[in-house]
Each structure stands twice: as structure tokens, then as C-alpha cells.
A and B are shown apart, each in its own frame.
Chain A
């Protein structure tokens, strides 16, 4: 913190200045007359709901998209549009949510892809490795640069992306929802790296949905809505309520409307589920009307446990009881027949058939058919009914789910599982990638389902979600159940202690 560059004065020339920038897609004004200045050494958060124009704004800055009008100044010079490579040359680096790494190349090769240290076309591998080591050190990553990117964890790959930005000597680093796939511990360590970069005068443009993070990392916050900037404020002048109001444009009373549900008998009892090294002797039970949370670090086995119960992955041993009767689940099909549903964490990759319509996705698990013939009328009615019930905003139930917003896509997945009449529903990160308004709606829906007497398991990496929504929280650590907390025992410290395997947690 005491290096000479540390104090970048706030009066300095901005690194990036946007003047009245607009971007129009056919029929949509995605970014509308935006004026914005980013100063060196600041963490500038862009907040806003999905569709607010954040991503488009980032694409304009990184020159993936050409602005329809307006000027972009970088380092005091007016930038001409020449595509992403040109933006990089100007010092603008972007880390996307889906990383742009080549999985089958090594870390070092990825870091210098397209600008290998070379002479006469021959890559100097030793220099490449040495420079890679330096860069990795700067982002706090202690790994062999010869390792293949595909062998790294998501958090490590993200660091490689950041190191790549350092390799091109970026002056401004754009991070698009960088914590979406990270666990709490990894988030803190990412923030350390960000603070270090900041102290070296690099500006960080940070897109996020998570309110708590904004207050932890931001210097200034710009809120966008409907393509326009609502306001830019120092973080000290904001609180959570004010921020949400600015983002949504209206008051949201409660993000986690937990309905009081009557808790009944045990519906699902799981005993001693074991699967290789991934799951070790996991047991739990969940009652009718109850919301049971699964907490833990990424990779602790929460998703794996849900998938094992759902029959998506084979298990080595273990017993599953539903309504007091033992059942054998060998496939998702068997689980669905028994009354268990699982809403995957990766909505697009595992939950939806994106090219099919809303209607066909809703009936995917319960296609009304007789002798192999689909009853199209019954299907249409079912889909329309669920679509109205869950308030899925789509111009038509035939619309491809690809075209819907994240929140509405998630509702389509929920509609599919409601249709199966499942008694037990696993929600795996149901709020990931959907905006604040849709989140409140999703949690209210989960509360209602519990109230109807369904047993709910809620998997989340975001503790406030679990602390507010759950009746009990099961904490996992390295494939084992580290503990189960009842509502009176809830505390962030306790959960983190159990999740990280700290000994005193047991006490």
C-alpha cells in the first residue's frame, strides 16, 4: 500500500470519458446518451437490472460494438472504432463472464496468445514461462504456467484472465459479474487482487448484481436503467435501499419475502449417500413446508448431493426414503416419477431447450401424450395456465425461451417442475444471473411453494439468501455434511466456519 504510485489523485485526467454515447439495435435503444468518466485507480461499479444496458456499454468500451453516436475518449485521445484488438492496444481489457481462454493450451500460452515473445516466428518458450510466472504472481496465483487451462478451477481461470489483462498493460480492466461463479473465500481473495491493481493506478470497471459486494469494493457507483444513467455517486452516499430504488425505479419492500409455512412430516430422508471422493456419507431430511438450505464453498458437493438424490449421477451407496418408504432412484426419470424435482444451477446449459418455445419447455418433463401422440391442445392449455400463474412475461407462449430475460427463463424452468407435482424441489442457485426485481419474485415463489406443503432444498453461495429464506441450513465441506443449523443458530460466522472446516465450529 505504500508504493509510490499508490495515491492517484482524484483530480487526475480520467482514463476513459464517454460523451453522449448511444447504441441502437434494430428497434432498441440499448444505450442512450451516456456521459461517464472513469478515473485511474478507482473501482467504478456499474449497477442495474438485466437489460439496463450495462453489457452493451462495456461492449462499446471494449470496441466489440460500434457506437451509433457519441464519442469515446481513452487516455485523453478520441478513440476511433477498430475492433476489440485496437481497444486492447489502447489499454482496455475485458474479462467476460464466460472466459475467453483456450482450454487445451497452457496458462503461459494463453497469457501471450497472439503476442508471443518470439523471434523470426519461433516462440521463446522460456521467456514466455518466466513472464507468465511474474504475471501470475501479481494476481496471486501460485500455479505452474505449463498447466493446461482446462485443469484449472473457475476461480483460477478468472485470475488467468486478469493476468492476461496485465500482460497487455491494461489501464482499465472491465470485470463483468466476476463473482457470479465464485465462493465467498474466493471472492475475498479476488477483492485483494483488485485492491492491489487499484493501488497501481489501474481503473476497474465492475459490473455486478450483488448489492453487498458493491459496498465492499466500490469507490463510485453508476446506476443504469433503460439504457440511461440514473446517477453516479460515491459509495458513501448510498445505502442498499437507495441503490435498489435507483436500479428498479420503484420500491421493493423485501428482497426475501419468507412466507411462514406450517412445517409437517418428513418428506425426504437421505441416508449415507456416498459417491467416490465427491460425496462421503451424506445424510439429511427435509419436511413438508420446510426450506432447507445447502451452504458451502464451491466444490463442497452441494450440487453433487442434489444431483445424486435426483438420480442424475450414479451413487456408490446410500438410502433414499420418500414419505417413509424407501425408493430406488437410478435416473432423473425415476426421481421425477417419485416426486422429486431439480432446478439446475446452469439454467441455459442444463435446464432449458433454448431453441424450443416457452410452451414446449414447460411441458418437457410432463408431455401430455397418449400412445406416443402429443395432445397439443392440452399442452397449450397447460403452458398458458402456468405462464399466467407465474406471470412469465412473453408476447406468446410459442416464443423461443432463448429470447426471454434471465428471470423469465428461470420462471419457465420453475413452471416445468410445478407441472410434475413434485413433493420435493431442489433449487440450485435460483437467483443467479437474474435481476433484483426478478429475484424478489423468485424467492416469493419459493416461499409460496413451501406454504403449499412442498419440501424445498435451496442451494446458494450467497449467505443472505439462505439466512433469510431457510428454516434450517445444512453446511457442506469437502463432500461431507459439516453441520446442520436451525434458525436460532443462524450466523454468517458459524456457516463460514463450518464451510471452511474450522474446528471450533463444531462447538
Chain B
């Protein structure tokens, strides 16, 4: 029984330190983000203009929106490889509802989201009911959804959606492009869900230890199902924005998109072993990728090089995170 004074004195610095060390994992990526931002501001006069910055935001919005859902999936120790082809499926099928079935714009967009959610539910079915590893379950969906897109579109882009459909990807409220607003809304919702709701809390618990979660009375399968549905729905929403940006449902859209989405989450500190990850971190990861892409264009660097740079960033971010965790572990022993 030490005196209260000592306990409080012990408590404050340690708690603060732990909070900081949690934040620092994001600061590594955030630090890189700031450095690149300043660097680009200095070397390229075209960079620090409202026009270019909005452009960067629009460019990355689809990836970042889908990455919010991916973050949740990764926190549960899962993975969703199907987001790219589900985005394409939603874009094409959503466009078809407007073109062929005469859905009004809002309903057409909603249809795209619902189709994504259904694809997510199928993923969830294989993961929870059939107990397949998420990698396999969503790999199946990656292929199946891609095939389905070509079946329903005959491999041809779907044009002819109402002109109001363009607003979603190309419109703006005042100076702010709608995709950026959509991203802000999705990110805030994601942050809220992860930090304030049962769904969020249980996602962390399931990712950290599924058996402990089950034995604590958490309906693990139900929550996993919800998480995959959310990931699918956000992939669908992202697919609709992408379709709106090019005025058409493109069957070839989204190939390889899942890799950028996963990279965003991982650079932002999400652990593929589950239990760790935040929306803020994922956004930092997504914008880091976006700045590398934008900077390469501004500086006239070959696209292939930017892919190499992004790969290196993934390595360094995760390596750094691992070092930090090992250090924490050594201290606890």
C-alpha cells in the first residue's frame, strides 16, 4: 500500500509515455508525410496550390475510403483481397441499374453500395460459417467478382448513366470536391465506430484473441460478418465514385487496387496479426502514397519508379513498427 501521492506520480508519466508510443507508430509515417510535403513544396512550385492539393485528395479518395473498411478487417486479423474487383463489380452493376433499369442516380449509387455489401456478406459467409482463412475466402471473391463483371458487361464499359451521376465523382461543394467530402465523412464514421462502439471494441478484441473474445461471450462470427459487409459496402461505394469520375462503369477497373488499400493500412500501423490499427494511421498511409504519386508526376519521375518507392515505404514502415514493438516487449520482461 504505497501512498496515493506515489501512485499518482507513477501513473501520470507512464500512461503518457504509453499514449505517446502508440502515437509514435503513426508519427513515423506522419513524419515521412510531412517531410515529403515540405520537400515537394520547395522543389515544385505547382505543388502547394489549392488546385493540386484538391487533386491529390480526389486521386486518393477512393483508395482511402476503401482502406477505412480494410482497416477494420485487418484489425480483426483478417484481410479482404476482393475490394478491387468488388469496386469494379459495383461500378459496372450500379451503372447498369441506371442505364438499363432506369434507376434514378441516388438509387443507382445505393445499388452499387448494396452490391458491394452483398459481396462482403459472401466473404463473411466463407470466413465465419465455412471457417475458411480470410485470405482464401476473399481471394475467391477477387476472381469470382472479376468474372461476374465481364459476364454482366460483356467486357464493355457501361456508358449512359444520368448526367447527375457525374456529381459524385466530379462535383464540388464550394471549392471542395465531393469525393473528398465523402472521404471525410467515411473516415469520421470509421473513427467513431472503432473508438466508440461495441463493433469497434469487439473488432480489436477478436483480432487480439478470438478465443478469449468468444469465451467472454462475444458473438465473434456475427461481428466478423458485419466487418466484411462494411468492407464490401465501402468497396462498392468507392467503385461508384470511381465510375462517376470516368462517367462509366469500367469492367477493368480496380485491378491491383487492393494492394494500395492494404499498403495504406499497413503503413498506417495496422498489424496483419490483428488487434492493431487506426483510421488516422490508415489515412496517413493513404496520403503518403498519394504524395509519392503526385510528387513523381510533378517531378517527372517515371511511374514505375513510384511503385518501387511505395514498396520501399511499406518495408520501412512495417520494419520500424516491428522494431518498436520488440523494444516494448523487451522492456516488459
Contact = CB atoms under 8 A, between A and B. Distances in A.
Interface in A356-411: 356, 360, 364-365, 367, 369, 372-374, 376, 395-396, 398-400, 402-403
Interface stretch (A25-33, A70-78, A87-95, A206-214): A25-33
A350 interface: yes
Given A27-B331, A395-B11, A354 B209 contact: yes
A26 B330 contact: yes
A312 to B, nearest CB: 6
Contacts of A26: 327, 330-331
A295 interface: no
A444 B40 CA distance: 64
A395 B209 contact: no
Contacts of B214: 312, 332
Contacts of B209: 349-350, 352-354
B201 A360 contact: yes
B215 A395 contact: no
A449 interface: no
Given A355-B275, A399-B18, A403-B328, A364 B196 contact: no
A36 to B, nearest CB: 21
A138 B197 CA distance: 58
B330 A352 contact: no
Interface stretch (B160-168, B216-224, B288-296): B216-224
A117 interface: no
Interface residues of A, number: 42
A495 B199 CA distance: 47
Nearest to A335: B217
Contacts of B213: 353, 364
A374 B197 contact: yes
B264 to A, nearest CB: 21
Contact of A373 (B196, B216, B217): B196
B11 A350 contact: no
* Interface majority SS (helix, strand, loop, mixed), chain A: mixed
B14 interface: yes
B125 to A, nearest CB: 19
A28 B330 CA distance: 10
A161 to B, nearest CB: 22
Contacts of A312: 214-215
A356 B275 contact: yes
Given A353-B205, A360-B204, A403-B328, A372 B215 contact: no
A395 B13 CA distance: 9
Interface in A10-28: 25-28
A336 B218 CA distance: 10
A342 interface: yes
B212 A353 contact: yes
A333 interface: yes
Contacts of A25: 330-331, 333
A460 to B, nearest CB: 19
Contacts of A335: 217
Contacts of A354: 208-209, 275
A400 to B, nearest CB: 8
Contact of B201 (A331, A342, A367): A367
A364 B205 contact: yes
B201 A373 contact: no
Contacts of A352: 209, 212
A110 interface: no
A308 to B, nearest CB: 13
A355 B276 CA distance: 8
Interface string B302-315: 00000000000000
Interface in B172-215: 196-202, 204-205, 208-209, 211-215
A89 B32 CA distance: 46
Given A25-B330, A374-B201, A398-B15, A333 B212 contact: no
Contacts of A437: none
A403 B329 CA distance: 7
A344 interface: yes
Given A333-B217, A369-B198, A372-B198, A356 B205 contact: yes
Contact of B14 (A337, A342, A369, A395): A395
A356 B195 CA distance: 13
10 contacts: A26-B330, A312-B215, A349-B211, A351-B215, A353-B209, A353-B213, A356-B208, A369-B197, A374-B201, A403-B332
Given A333-B218, A356-B205, 17 more contacts: A25-B330, A56-B333, A335-B217, A349-B209, A353-B209, A354-B209, A356-B204, A364-B205, A364-B212, A365-B217, A372-B199, A373-B196, A374-B200, A374-B201, A400-B18, A403-B328, A416-B216
